[in-house]
A and B are shown apart, each in its own frame.
Chain A
Amino acid sequence: MYYNWLKLIKEGFNNNSGWKKTWRNPELKKKYDVIIIGGGGHGLATAFYLAKEFNIKNIAVLEKKWIGGGNVGRNTTIIRSNYLLNQNEAFYEFSLKLWENLEKEINYNAMVSQRGVLNVFHSDAQRDSFIRRGNGMLLNGADAELFDINKIKSIYPFLDFENARFPIKGGLFQKRGGTVRHDAVAWGYAHAADRLGVDIIQNCEVTDFKFESGSCVGVETSQGYIKANKIGCAVAGSSSLLMSKANMNLPIESHVLQAFVSESLKPIIPGVITFGAGHFYISQSDKGGLVFGGDIDGYNSYAQRGGMATIEDVCEGGMALMPMIGKSRLLRMWGGIMDMTMDGSPIIDKTHINGLYLNAGWCYGGFKATPASGWCFAHLLAKGYSHELSSNFRLDRFKNGYLIDEKGQGAQPNLH
């Protein structure tokens, strides 16, 4: 079914009885060309691009519970391409360009809203580091501007310029960065993939892989055995659990990242702002809630919830950046399972097992990477070799010393 305002009006007069399923509930087949394990943003995007760009016909997405229930439904909705290292920046800029055209592609309003991302800094050293980053962004075809304090005051007068412990000295601004309605991304990709014939199977948990002479030939699931030529794993925080069934240990730790939303308020924060003297980022959703977050709690967790210490740290960062936020009220908080890698950058690669492919390790960058991750993973699955822009995200880079370490923290996931 194709969505547009005409249909909306027609159905309005028709008591909305003609709307069809956003995605079907198809019968599970016994065999597919490609199976994607994981019905989150990345898995669904991969399935869509496989069908749309790479003409693969027989595709299934297997989701353990309900689609979009993982990190794609739990994040703080920010999109941007302001990474430091060229290997990351080129990829995320590709993703941003895909975001810009997404709604037309998938015929679903994901509310892609490019209202700008401002990273404020508080010291000369930070400024230098942001200049390096801004230059890198421009070199990779993205947009970047350096704002002085007066410019920042004019667009965000409510930031703390008077009493801050770490006064703002300036900021790096990406105009094309912004926010997207996260649930709509999962539903939109599902809708679009489904229209191209992809089978989306919910409540289907993969319990094991089947191997034959060194290749992966299928998966055992809660709904039976399914054969496949290629199997792509896109399960984010659950990657270690899934891949342990293939006897693989990954350079990943799963951590809880908490996110928060306030009660709905009239528009007050026009774009995305990140704090430089602590980990804190915030935007305002179209419904009016302030959506914000900070650091991971810092310890391995699959519990999707964290502790009070983090709530306090995040709120402190928020008030340090914009004191007015103290009077807004926290309405809801939740946690996701973040797949933190040993260098803070993702993995899109084949494994040493024929037919088994891995897309994981997204750290804080998963949501904004959704379109590019889907595209590049689809490319890899379809063609058997990496897309140029994800060619650095290899699993063996840890062994061979080609790390992509933005923060320079080394092999400790909770520091990325």
Chain B
Amino acid sequence: MNKSNRTNFGLIDYNKKINFEFNDKAYVGFQGDTLASALIANEVKLIARSFKYHRPRGIFSAGSEEPSALVELIHKDYNEPNTKATTIELYEGLKAKSQNCWPSVKYDFMSINDKFSNFLTAGFYYKTFMWPSFFWEKVYEPLIRRAAGLGKLSTKGKARVSEKGFLHCDLLVVGSGPSGLMSAYIAGLSGANVILVEEDYVFGGSINNEEVIISKLSGKEWINFLISELKKLSNVRCMSRACVIGMFDHGNFGVIEKFDKAVNSKIDQMFWKITSKKAILCTGAIERLIPFQNNDRPGIMLSGSIRSYLNRWGVIVGKKIAIFTNNDDAYSTAKNLISLGINVVGIIDTRENPNINNLNIKVFKSAQVTNSRGKLALQGVNVMLKNGKSFYLECDTLGVSGGWNPNIHLSCHTGVKPEWQNDISAFIPGKNNISTHLKAVGAANGFFDLNQCFLSAENTVVQILSELNISIKKYDMPKTEEKSINIEPFWYVKNGNKRKWVDLQNDVTVKDIELAYRENFRSVEHLKRYTTLGMGTDQGKTSNVTGLAILADLSNKAIPDVGTTIFRPPYIPVSLDAFVGFSQAKQFKPLRLTPSHDWAKENGAIFTEAGLWLRAQWYMQKNENDWRVSVDREVNAVRNSVGFCDVSTLGKIDIQGKDAVSFINRIYCNGFSKLPIGKTRYGLMLREDGLVMDDGTTARLDENHFIMTTTTVNAERVYRHLEFCHQCLWPDMDVQLISITDAWSQIAIAGPKSRKLISKIIDPQYDVSNENFPFMACKEVSICGGFKARLFRISFSGELAYEIAIPTQYTKSFMSYLMEIGKEENITPYGTEALSVMRIEKGHVAGAELNGTVSAINLNMDKMVSSIKDSIGIVLSKREGLNLIDGPRLVGLKPKKPNEQIISGSHLFNLKDKLNADNDLGYVTSSCYSPTIESYIGLGFLKDGTNRYGDEIKVCNPLLNKEVLAKVCDPVFIDPNGDRLRG
């Protein structure tokens, strides 16, 4: 390993060697290195290939604005593509390889694209590939798709663990550079709750990249001092490796925090949602490039980044370094380099009279770099002087500075457009913040001088603290040397007609922008979309403003008149699993278990999902190997003897109050005002638009006490609807509601022997004879010697049946108790499948029929709707479209051949009609095999169905290639008179 291009200072621990591999070669780096700094130290210049032209790419920057040095990280069981070498903290055993090249980054087959660049300009694919048409899908597109794409996504590998957390604070400080540290310091000392968030793995921001003296301390010493002061304050939280990726409404921010692999290997990343009262943007500024011919070679990089590598990472990027600039900042790079004896071969300055000040370097004034040479690495540049003469300058590195863009990204996230500031030739955050929430300071607000950074932070924080009503405690203001950048706008070199890169990742050149303009893509957004400028993984951080300036130049307009580039979240690309956290796989949504779940599991239940619930679908006995056998057995058991089923998932709402009865009467479309105490009634609930929302029953336990049931799927919606009616429509009514779905367990006990069983369970003082507890009766009772329960005589199955409600916590023992006490009657537990078969046999509607598009008349329940009272939906239920004479009606369907299945989702047709949409008469909603009548049966909606009983129609399923002949009949297949119910 060559140590000659390392210095002894830098935030590097030379005692901690780190071994890593790049493109299968072994290298050594140190703790504190990024992959990029370690590669530079090892003189690896060629890192990747660009997206379109597959041109050689090196390291361009020192941060997350990196457009070129993209690698694929190879982890134990998955690969991580599109990773910027400049942001990867080096760790022991790191393996990386170049991406977007084959067979190697040195010899890339696809670099042939480069030869055809004139044909591969922006938008070329819109103008061709149209003929022959089938070629697009079979040939062109697969080729394009294979050529596109930068890295490969692993389909295997364990899911990574991401945590999520919430934080609250008075002040969120984004960035820990000079303004960030000062802001956190002043606010923290004054007692505000502060969270300081820093993207990098060290604090200090740009100060780490500079050779600077602050209040007599070196930059690094000053940072250490401030951080140690901040860490002493319990009201300040300092987070590093944490990036604010987005600003959202009402002071909410999203932050992704990564962890030092050496310290914590358990969690990969954490997603924080921070709610702040105020926030301050201290994100500094990002340098931009200057396009000139062939300005994309490895070795051409941002001048400030050269400084960063030198001061922060102690790495010297090259042996012969040239600088190309339009401002003073690049001179700091030159000065830093020569102070260490590094050869700076010249500064090419576009300005006429830059402030040189005894600099011992050759400065070429009013000069431009017009071209570069070197295939896989820079060898030299062409320089053109004011008088037009050109010469060749040998160099292995060119530091470019086209100016600095305040890093305003976050400030745009809530829709505030940035403003152009002429004196720095850049955009700063817009002043018209919608709320006074986020304020920008320091370089992020266009103050490039360090002293000014400190001052702007101070001014803003003081203002913020007063808005928060926090009194300001004393603090010391740091002092440092003044500088300014003195930029003179120079956006691109016009000389030469070879390609000049603006967006290094997506290979967007000045020519592309000119072409876009020529083709009338002249708004900023059109330019971006047509050329794909700024749409790579670097999100255009180094290229957007330059592209905009070139467009302005072509349009002969001032930059602010052309438009602005709005940034949107995320600030850096974020892996999706960070947003998911633990809500993966089985934890995707919660699991809701019924009160009888454990008992059911122990007794052979096979479960099915009903929304979030898990319900017993059937109970499989030992000798049963087909679900039909189990289900048929359960149905027969209920119809011949007695069975029980957990129906707790149905919504239950307790309604009480003087006006409860009038309230309920307005909720249901059928009459409830005369419901006697001790009776239950079926209720049909409409939406205000007149269509059926839900059905259920309501029991009147007492004068002012009702229990309403709803379907499982609509429990929440109906409850919300009731509260809406109560609070928003009729607040004067004396009525109170509460959901008791989870408090009470509800068990259906059904079958001809159910009364016998019930009388054994209910305490003796309650008479459950047919005379004293007729069909639809209800009563608060007690069971098992005093346990509170509620008994309802309602039936979904069509048999003599009851539902008993007991407090949830007794369910498991109640189940065992039922099995014990019902031995004589051969009691059988049944699941949702048998439940469903029986309700279909009885023609009861359920979720499949109540699909939100049916009216009472469709369900044959039009006579239930009362026109003499106000109820929800009554008015609009009368609309013409909902009352068509021959509209869809619920019917039963019985196949001509009993063993032919009526399949749900089939459509209905007259026998002689062709199968097309015009002849479509309806569809099958529910179906099952009925062991009771020994035939397949179905329910469905048929046009003019009630007038067609006895007609033969065809039940068609072209999707499954099936067609069945069936007879239209009354949907009630068994016991149409209801004798079994009332017996």
Q: Is A214 an interface residue (CB 8 A)?
A: no
Q: Within 8 Å CB of B539, what residues of A?
A: 331-332
- A16 x B121 contact (CB < 8 A): yes
Q: Is A298 an interface residue (CB 8 A)?
A: no
Q: Is B137 an interface residue (CB 8 A)?
A: yes
Chain A contact residue count (CB 8 A cutoff): 120
0/1 interface trace, chain A 250-277, chain B, CB 8 Å (1 if under): 0000000000001111111000000001
Minimum CB–CB distance from B964 to chain A (whole Å) comes to 13
- B904 x A128 contact (CB < 8 A): yes
CB within 8 A of B575: which of A5, A146, A326?
A326
- B415 x A114 contact (CB < 8 A): no
- Partner-contacting stretch, out of B698-706, B814-822, B875-883: B875-883
Q: Is A15 an interface residue (CB 8 A)?
A: yes
Chain B contact residue count (CB 8 A cutoff): 117
- B415 x A139 contact (CB < 8 A): no
Minimum CB–CB distance from B541 to chain A (whole Å) comes to 13
Contact status of A113 and B879, CB under 8 A, knowing A139-B916, A263-B81, A315-B579: no
- B905 x A128 contact (CB < 8 A): yes
Shortest Cβ distance from A266 into B: residue: B149
- Partner-contacting stretch, out of A157-165, A231-239, A353-361: A157-165
Contact status of A308 and B254, CB under 8 A, knowing A113-B136, A125-B847: yes
Q: Within 8 Å CB of A408, what residues of B?
A: 851-853
- B879 x A399 contact (CB < 8 A): yes
- A103 x B130 contact (CB < 8 A): yes
- A263 x B583 contact (CB < 8 A): no
A409, B692: Cα distance in complex, Å: 10
Q: Within 8 Å CB of B882, what residues of A?
A: 401
Q: Is A89 an interface residue (CB 8 A)?
A: yes
- A323 x B584 contact (CB < 8 A): yes
- A103 x B133 contact (CB < 8 A): yes
- Partner-contacting stretch, out of B58-66, B366-374, B380-388, B565-573: B565-573
CB within 8 A of B881: which of A69, A125, A397?
A397
- B131 x A4 contact (CB < 8 A): yes
Q: Within 8 Å CB of A403, what residues of B?
A: 689, 853, 881
- A316 x B583 contact (CB < 8 A): yes
Minimum CB–CB distance from B349 to chain A (whole Å) comes to 31
CB within 8 A of B129: which of A109, A124, A320?
A109
- B141 x A113 contact (CB < 8 A): yes
A411, B687: Cα distance in complex, Å: 9
Q: Is A380 an interface residue (CB 8 A)?
A: no
Q: Is B51 an interface residue (CB 8 A)?
A: yes
- Partner-contacting stretch, out of B629-637, B645-653, B952-960: B952-960
- A264 x B82 contact (CB < 8 A): yes
- Partner-contacting stretch, out of A20-28, A30-38, A204-212, A362-370: A20-28
Q: Within 8 Å CB of A331, what residues of B?
A: 537, 539, 570, 573
Q: Is A400 an interface residue (CB 8 A)?
A: yes
- Partner-contacting stretch, out of B423-431, B515-523, B968-976: B515-523
- B958 x A8 contact (CB < 8 A): no
Q: Within 8 Å CB of B142, what residues of A?
A: 267
- A165 x B958 contact (CB < 8 A): no
- A333 x B580 contact (CB < 8 A): no
- A326 x B584 contact (CB < 8 A): yes
Minimum CB–CB distance from B758 to chain A (whole Å) comes to 32
- B588 x A327 contact (CB < 8 A): no
- B148 x A286 contact (CB < 8 A): yes
- Partner-contacting stretch, out of A50-58, A180-188, A215-223: A180-188
Minimum CB–CB distance from B913 to chain A (whole Å) comes to 11
- B128 x A109 contact (CB < 8 A): yes
- B133 x A123 contact (CB < 8 A): no
Shortest Cβ distance from B873 into A: residue: A410
Q: Within 8 Å CB of A20, what residues of B?
A: 518-519
- B160 x A146 contact (CB < 8 A): no
- B125 x A104 contact (CB < 8 A): no
Q: Is A108 an interface residue (CB 8 A)?
A: yes
Q: Within 8 Å CB of A241, what residues of B?
A: none
- A3 x B126 contact (CB < 8 A): yes
0/1 interface trace, chain A 384-399, chain B, CB 8 Å (1 if under): 0000000000000101
- Partner-contacting stretch, out of B150-158, B232-240, B448-456, B779-787: B150-158
Q: Within 8 Å CB of B80, what residues of A?
A: 327
- B150 x A264 contact (CB < 8 A): yes
A397, B880: Cα distance in complex, Å: 10
Q: Which residues from 138 to 156 on chain A have a C-beta closer than 8 Å to any C-beta of chain B?
A: 138-141, 144-146
Shortest Cβ distance from B959 into A: residue: A134
Q: Is B31 an interface residue (CB 8 A)?
A: no
Q: Is B917 an interface residue (CB 8 A)?
A: yes
Minimum CB–CB distance from A389 to chain B (whole Å) comes to 11
- A409 x B852 contact (CB < 8 A): yes
- B248 x A307 contact (CB < 8 A): yes
Q: Within 8 Å CB of B920, what residues of A?
A: 86, 136, 139
Q: Which residues from 512 to 535 on chain B have a C-beta closer than 8 Å to any C-beta of chain A?
A: 515, 518-521, 523, 525-526, 529-530, 532, 535
Q: Within 8 Å CB of A98, what residues of B?
A: none
Q: Is A73 an interface residue (CB 8 A)?
A: yes
Q: Within 8 Å CB of B568, what residues of A?
A: 305, 332-334
Contact status of A104 and B960, CB under 8 A, knowing A65-B523, A135-B905, A397-B881: no
Q: Is B267 an interface residue (CB 8 A)?
A: no
Shortest Cβ distance from B532 into A: residue: A287
A13, B689: Cα distance in complex, Å: 65
Shortest Cβ distance from B855 into A: residue: A401
- B145 x A21 contact (CB < 8 A): no
Q: Within 8 Å CB of A187, what residues of B?
A: 126, 530
Shortest Cβ distance from A66 into B: residue: B523
Q: Within 8 Å CB of A327, what residues of B?
A: 78, 80, 153-154, 157, 160, 575-577
Shortest Cβ distance from B957 into A: residue: A135
Q: Within 8 Å CB of B145, what residues of A?
A: 267, 284, 286, 288
Q: Which residues from 121 to 147 on chain B have a C-beta closer than 8 Å to any C-beta of chain A?
A: 121, 124-131, 133, 136-137, 141-142, 144-146
Minimum CB–CB distance from B84 to chain A (whole Å) comes to 11
Q: Is B848 an interface residue (CB 8 A)?
A: yes
Q: Is A195 an interface residue (CB 8 A)?
A: no
0/1 interface trace, chain A 310-347, chain B, CB 8 Å (1 if under): 01100110111001111111111110000000000000
Contact status of A16 and B511, CB under 8 A, knowing A136-B917, A332-B539, A333-B568: yes
Q: Is B589 an interface residue (CB 8 A)?
A: yes
A263, B851: Cα distance in complex, Å: 40
Q: Is B923 an interface residue (CB 8 A)?
A: yes
Q: Within 8 Å CB of A265, what residues of B?
A: 81-82, 149-153
Minimum CB–CB distance from B130 to chain A (whole Å) comes to 5
- A123 x B609 contact (CB < 8 A): yes
Q: Within 8 Å CB of A128, what residues of B?
A: 848, 904-905, 925
- B917 x A328 contact (CB < 8 A): no
Q: Is A226 an interface residue (CB 8 A)?
A: no
A287, B160: Cα distance in complex, Å: 26
Offer 9 A-B interface pairs, CB within 8 angstroms, sorted by A.
A146-B960, A165-B589, A187-B530, A263-B537, A264-B151, A277-B589, A334-B568, A401-B879, A410-B693
Q: List the 8 closest A-B pairs by CB distance, nearest first.
A: A408-B852, A131-B905, A401-B881, A401-B879, A288-B149, A326-B577, A329-B573, A128-B904
On B, residues with C-beta under 8 Å from A are 51, 78, 80-82, 116, 118-119, 121, 124-131, 133, 136-137, 141-142, 144-146, 148-157, 159-160, 246, 248-249, 252, 254, 273, 413-415, 497, 511, 515, 518-521, 523, 525-526, 529-530, 532, 535-537, 539, 568-570, 573-577, 579-580, 583-589, 591, 608-609, 687-691, 693, 847-848, 851-853, 876, 879-883, 903-907, 915-917, 920, 923-925, 956-960
Known A-B contacts: A139-B917, A165-B585, A263-B150. Give 17 more (CB < 8 A): A16-B118, A19-B515, A21-B519, A22-B519, A86-B917, A103-B136, A109-B129, A139-B920, A165-B588, A166-B609, A264-B82, A265-B149, A267-B142, A323-B585, A332-B539, A401-B690, A407-B852
